[in-house]
Amino acid sequence: MPDTAEIEPPTPLTGYEDRCLQTDEGRAIRDLMDRVGDKWSLLIISTLRAGTLRFSELQRHIPGVSQRMLTLTLKHLARDGLVSRTVHPEVPPRVEYSLTPTGRTLIDPAEALAAWAVAHLPAIKAARAEFDAAAG
Amino acid sequence: MPDTAEIEPPTPLTGYEDRCLQTDEGRAIRDLMDRVGDKWSLLIISTLRAGTLRFSELQRHIPGVSQRMLTLTLKHLARDGLVSRTVHPEVPPRVEYSLTPTGRTLIDPAEALAAWAVAHLPAIKAARAEFDAAAG
DNA sequence: CGGGATCCTACTCGATACTG
DNA sequence: CAGTATCGAGTAGGATCCCG
């Protein structure tokens, strides 16, 4: 590596940082949001973090989710290898869902995000209320 | 608090956990996704983590974002108190954006998520390819 | 019970053109 | 430069009905 490459530019944000987020984090964040950035994915993953649940149990634990969206989101998560789907051939049928090892690795960052939300959402709502009061 | 409340139920997931995610984390995750779960918010926040940027700089650093979406998302973030907007009364006008202290607290969990994405997206894409190959 | 199929609505987002 | 305004396509997501 030439020594010129080691010199840190004094201006931190003027012209060299076009690759700052785009190649690595930028694409990663976008891909991530494309997969678990929807309305129910993180909720399902968080709900499954304590163990296996069957379809109707999941639906009960996540109020407001429709059968359709639960089915769709679970299918996407299974397709991405984050959730495993096990069908027990019985009558009535029983289908159980649980996190895969890969899915389990998402728990920590997801809970970090949830913790942030719990801690800072009051401030956000206050800021929003103040903003709306000021702007009419 | 009565002593019966301290007894941990032995079955981890059968009947008592209706409040497991819904009251705290569940609502938090939903509110969070409502605010920064869109296409550009996390990208903007990550881009601003290194310092102040003006509108056109932000647009250059986030390829693919339209003027409209950049304006809209910045307005939402400003409304929520995550981003501050400073107008310098000059000609041509200069408007600078930076993270507020509250916004800065989001950097760590957001980067944790981005790091997860960088680490696990290849596995996800592989799982998806395998799933699609098996299912046609 | 665990979905699949269908219809329908609302909203997101992008493209384009215009403004101060 | 930093927006605003308007239009239109695409899609996420809810409601409903049906099936194995």
Question: Based on the domain organization, do B54 and B110 belong to the same domain?
Answer: yes
List, in sequence order, every residue forming a beta bridge with B87; answer none if it has no partner: B95
Does B74 contact strand C, using a CB cutoff of 7 Å? Answer: no
Cα B103 from Cα B124, distance rounded (Å): 29
CA distance B107 to B25: 19
Cβ contact, residue pair A117, B46, below 8 Å:
no
B3 assigned to some structural domain: no
Mean per-residue pLDDT for B57-76?
95
Q: CATH number for the domain including A89?
A: 1.10.10.10
* B79 and B27 inside one domain: no
The pLDDT value recorded for residue B119 is 93
Sign of torsion over alpha carbons A94, A49, B107, B25: positive
- Containing A83, the helix (H) or strand (E) segment is strand A83-88
Q: How far is B89 from chain A (nearest CA, A)?
A: 20
**What pLDDT is stored for residue A10 in this prediction?**
34
Q: Which nucleotides of C are covered by protein (CB under 7 A)?
A: 1-6, 12-17, 20
Residues of the domain holding B21: 9-38
- In this complex, the residue of B17, B50, B57 whose CB is nearest that of residue A61 is B17
Q: Is residue A55 part of a domain?
A: yes
pTM for the complete prediction?
A: 0.84
- pLDDT tens digits for range B68-120: 999 999 999 999 999 999 999 999 999 999 999 999 999 999 888 889 998 99
Same domain, A19 and A69: no
Q: Is the pLDDT of residue B132 over 70?
A: yes
